Structure 1
Amino acid sequence: MVESGDRRPDVIVVGAGGSGAVLASRLSEDPAREVLLLEAGPAPASLAAFPPELLDALAVPGARPGRAAVRMYAARLRPDMPYEAARGRYLGGSTTVNGGYFIRARREDFDRWSAAAGDPLWSYDRVLPYLRALETDLDHGPAADQEIAASPHGGRGPMPVRRTGLLHPAAAAFRTAASELGYPDEPDKNDQRPPGFGPVPTNTVDGRRINTGIAYLLGAAAARPNLTVMGDRAVRSVTVRRGRATGVVIGRAGRPAVLEAPEIVLCAGALASPHLLHLSGIGPADDLARAGIAAVHDLPAVGAALSDHPQVVVEWAPRRPMAAPSGSWLGGALHLRSSDGNAAGDLEVLQSLVPMAGLVTGAASVPGAPLAFFASVQTPRTTGGLRTVSDDPDVPPLVDYGYLGTGDDRRRMREAVRATAEIVASKAFGAVSEGLAGFDADTLADDRTLDAWIRERLGTAQHTCGTVPMGPAGAGSAVDAQGRVHGLTGLRVADTSILPTAPLRGPAATAVLIGEVIAGAMRREDG
């Protein structure tokens, strides 16, 4: 059946997450454009309707098993290591369930993406106005009498940015330890200065997480008659007729319904968007046939690779009981260069002021539990891929991260762990720490032993990109720089799946940027 309302939409946006909420809001600023935004999970119409735990900046809802706001994807970190990857399924998408980390990509990332896309649209100088427009930087934003163009930051955008305070004893000790070890101070990680230690920019204010749904949809956009937001509308596939996308299929009351529009934009995320393309018959034809899906458009790059950041938790034992943090679960962050890495810093040591036992239970304080650092390798590279295994939309795809597959991968991970251990072993950090928990100097000293320790504890930073990469047609890509799917009309992808490689920092802020950039491109085309 074809489902119709009072007004036929001009564009259907699939997914109200980090990019989709942004794109739908910006497109609806044109009163002549009817925008329909579909979210698979709940889409509250007011802040008061959000469960408190989804607003709590001391919690990471995606780390808690069984959360209703999360969809889990079957994955393998390595061929012998099964895993479940969490993604947000709620208004705001993964910005509702992640840690609130909101660090911009580096200039080097934009240079790399622009080159891969064959389009200057993604150069740093071209995206900087969008980076300003999307934020209100509460720490470094322009003064009221200062021109925004004179600052790298914005002061009037939807997303608030506040850096973590470093007053907690563990955060203060981290800062002093980094200085003791000779790392430079980096007070503003959203400016393009040399990497080092600094507070973490977050989209949290006064202990509350401000996700993209709240920031972009529950303000002025909520009153726009040309913007319709529908929650609990899981899209099953895109309909394609004679080379043009014509609508989407949703499941409703046990029966499929078709919603039609001349333009469809997939913003479902780097796992769900390629899966939707596959379910629609768009992807590698032979692989789709094995899953029982008839190919509509053979596009081998969809799901062929992915880019993400391997991560290991390094725990340490506090010397004395510590109070729960205030404002955010995050402390400081150290970015440094691996032995062959990018000068912008491809290793990250991120501090948690809440024990791991608290992150998985929702408790800000767990007496006697160790505290943690997250050691990540953020070197831009592609590994693994995403494969659809069934034509049933309720069967998730299989995600292969392909971590630690080369000697260089393993070396960089060792370097990240050893850099973290060096922080814990410093004189300054010894003021709050009794030392590492879970491994010793012998493990650290021997490469093979440390590799085994890492394999047993390997995780992911949940920074997936590259599953629907942008680039020129015929060059191993799936979309162009404006997100348009190669070889089809009326279909775009606008989320982190289009980034050929993950950025040198976590991609939450870049997901918002993607929504801004693609919305800008669409509005220029119509203008």
Structure 2
Amino acid sequence: MHSDVLIVGAGSAGSVLAERLSADPARRVTVVEAGPGPSDPQVLIQIEDGLRLPIGAASSVVRRYPTTLTTSPQRHAQLMRGAVVGGSGAVNGGYFCRGLPGDFDDWGLAGWTWEEVLGHFQAIETDLDFDTPIHGSSGPISVRRVAEFQGCTAAFVDAAIQAGHTWLPDLNASTADSPLPAGVGAVPLNIEKGTRVGPGGAFLQPAMSRANLTVLTSHQAGRIRIDRGRATGVDCVGPNGAVELSADRIVLCAGAIGSAHLLMLSGVGPETVLRTAGIPVQAALPVGVATADHPEWVLPVNWSPSRGALPLEAVLTTADGLEIRPYTTGFGAMVSGRRSDPADRPHIGVTLMRPRSRGRITVRSADPKVAPIIEHRYDSEPDDVAQLQAGTDLARELVRATTDLGPVSWSTSQHLCGTAPMGPDDDDAAVVDARCRVRGIDGLWVVDGSVLPKITSRGPHATIVMLGHRAAEFVAG
């Protein structure tokens, strides 16, 4: 089966890219997705309910990867990635904050300044709360904030304001000329009336009736075929066995883990790592050598769980790059939707949004079924640990009059990115150029969180959706 464009992964970026590229009826587009589609009612129930995170042990819409969060001592965790049409955007908490203008200007990349990405942020959304020039009013993804806080969120917001922190009506209001100050505000959410409005449902599903768009669900990509420096196809395993797909242009949208793993399986990565895994080298590039994520310290609190509330409704941001998050219930309730376990308590997350620490992802076998090694190395930068401690002290000071806080534990925001970063032509750390093309391999792009040169100062989901919208122009040529 041959296509003009073959997209590997129907996640947050891939869904947008597929819709944009297939809008031209003369362009044949095929999307390969390892997970199921939403036609199964049990799948749809899991991904639509915005009050829960469908990532528990019984979930059929996620894939789990072990990681090591810290090295001294070793602390282990699991990363969950959406394995369904819509990707991780179909299973997350609905947080839809844009990256800040300074994030993009700091990249220093042609085509990615704040002025150049703002139009794409506007195009993907309909902001139901703010009708201003910097917000979108006709995009497929609805964005809304909780208007009246109750329970945990109300207690936290009241404490923050009483402590002198500024109330911020719109966390997406920052511009290059008027950056937002630190303060507390309602989280922009892509959840409408309790229903998660992710990129898969908002972009890809309405386009699936197009005659020129084919979506192959439950097809796992195992290797990119590369012939004399050009990507020509992808080998997959589907429900009926092996499938060979070919295309003029191939775009990896399998996420920061999936795309990096597929590149390395195909011979694109650090030469020593590939040879150790028994993989012939096609292009020696620094895939997975300096990843980033948002480290998080979690503190349980004795507030009563909030009934009928979304997992995270408001956050406090600080001038030194912390985001303090009052989660409305315990992790078990977030996953199951059941909020009756008295031992499952709400918690506060203290998150470092501009970390210095860098991790890595390493292929360990030529067998696609063998997961890569993931190491976050959150404790590799003492300044990061000191900032997390300062944020924890601030959180304790804020809420100690209203609740007791339990002991701190290490966690992660599940925002792994930068496994195949963009960069200018003279950047030895870059895997793709500023148009998302893989260096040294013709006909191959990466368009997802892998390519972020630096992690954004907000959760990256909205930025990754924007990335898919922006990069469609590059792939279309």
Residue 325 in structure 1 maps to residue 294 in structure 2: no
Separation of aligned partners in 2, 1:496 and 1:348: 20
Residue 237 in structure 1 maps to residue 231 in structure 2: no
Q: Cα gap change, 1:369/1:258 in structure 2, threshold over 3 Å: closer, same or farther?
A: closer
Separation of aligned partners in 1, 2:469 and 2:339: 34
What's the CA shift for 1:170? Answer: 2.3
Residue 461 in structure 1 maps to residue 395 in structure 2: no
Alignment of 1:42-121 (within 5 A): 42-45=36-39, 50-62=43-55, 64-79=56-71, 80-113=74-107, 115=108, 117=109, 119=110, 121=111
Matching residue within 392, 404, 418 for 1:435 = 404
**Other-structure match for 2:366:** 391
Q: Cα gap change, 1:183/1:332 in structure 2, threshold over 3 Å: closer, same or farther?
A: same
What's the CA shift for 1:253? Answer: 5.3
Matched position secondary structure for 1:122: coil
2:65·2:78 contact (CA, 8 Å) conserved in 1?
yes
Residue 208 in structure 1 maps to residue 208 in structure 2: no
Separation of aligned partners in 2, 1:459 and 1:139: 32
TM norm structure 2: 0.94
Matching residue within 240, 243, 252 for 1:266 = 252
Separation of aligned partners in 2, 1:126 and 1:71: 34
Matched position secondary structure for 2:167: coil
4+ residue stretches of structure 1 with deviation over 6 A? none
- What are the ranges of 5 or more consecutive residues in structure 1 without an aligned counterpart? 143-150, 339-345, 440-453
Separation of aligned partners in 2, 1:491 and 1:322: 47
TM norm structure 1: 0.86
Matched position secondary structure for 1:334: strand
**Other-structure match for 2:389:** 414
Alignment of 1:42-441 (within 5 A): 42-45=36-39, 50-62=43-55, 64-79=56-71, 80-113=74-107, 115=108, 117=109, 119=110, 121-142=111-132, 151-192=133-174, 193-219=180-206, 221-252=207-238, 255-299=241-285, 301-318=286-303, 321=304, 323-326=306-309, 328-338=310-320, 346-367=321-342, 369-426=344-401, 430=402, 434-436=403-405, 438-439=406-407
2:184·2:315 contact (CA, 8 Å) conserved in 1?
yes
Q: Cα gap change, 1:366/1:164 in structure 2, threshold over 3 Å: closer, same or farther?
A: farther
Amino acid at match of 2:280: A
Q: CA RMSD in A?
A: 1.7
Q: Which deviations, in whole Å up to 9, do the C-alpha atoms of 1:373-413 show, x marking residues without a partner? A: 11111114351111000011011100111102122011011
2:157·2:314 contact (CA, 8 Å) conserved in 1?
yes
What's the CA shift for 1:325? Answer: 2.8
1:282·1:295 contact (CA, 8 Å) conserved in 2?
yes
- What are the ranges of 5 or more consecutive residues in structure 2 without an aligned counterpart? 175-179
2:125·2:140 contact (CA, 8 Å) conserved in 1?
yes
Q: Cα gap change, 1:181/1:322 in structure 2, threshold over 3 Å: closer, same or farther?
A: same
Q: Which deviations, in whole Å up to 9, do the C-alpha atoms of 1:412-438 show, x marking residues without a partner? A: 110121121122124xxx2xxx322x2
Q: Cα gap change, 1:253/1:50 in structure 2, threshold over 3 Å: closer, same or farther?
A: closer
Deviates more, 1:264-273 or 1:399-408: 399-408
**Other-structure match for 2:177:** none
Q: Which deviations, in whole Å up to 9, do the C-alpha atoms of 1:12-64 show, x marking residues without a partner? A: 00100010001111111111111101110002358x674313211111123x2
% same residue: 38
What's the CA shift for 1:238? Answer: 0.6
1:381·1:501 contact (CA, 8 Å) conserved in 2?
no
Q: Which deviations, in whole Å up to 9, do the C-alpha atoms of 1:131-187 show, x marking residues without a partner? A: 100001111135xxxxxxxx1100100111111233313222222211111111111
